[in-house]
Amino acid sequence: MIRLTRLNHVPMILNADLIEHIDMTPDTIVTLTSGQKYTVLESADEVVNKVIVFRQKLLSQDPARLTAPREHSSESESRSR
């Protein structure tokens, strides 16, 4: 997921895996695989860089951490009571 900003300065979080293409007209328009379009303040280069950083973070994590069950601490258990 990447953080982008709509033209009205409202932040949004977008699933980077659903980006089909980016148009520069001169606004930046992000088109998703569903056909949904978002006009954002960020340049196309900024959007591409955010996607790259997001994917680098995913790939740099220990794969065992991604699939291992989470351990619950006694602190979190005491808060839920």
**Pairing verdict, β 37-40 and 28-32:** antiparallel
- Entry pTM: 0.73
When comparing pLDDT for 55 and 66, which is higher?
Answer: 55
Number of independent structural domains in the chain: 1
At residue 69 the predicted structure's pLDDT band, cuts being 50, 70 and 90, is confident
User: In whole angstroms, what is the distance from residue 4 CA to residue 67 CA?
Assistant: 28
Identify whether 18 is part of a domain: yes
When comparing pLDDT for 57 and 38, which is higher?
Answer: 38
Identify whether 63 is part of a domain: no
**Of all helices (H) and strands (E), which one includes residue 21?**
strand 19-24
Identify whether 40 is part of a domain: yes
Identify whether 66 is part of a domain: no
- In three-state secondary structure terms, 50 is helix
Percent of the chain with pLDDT over 70: 79
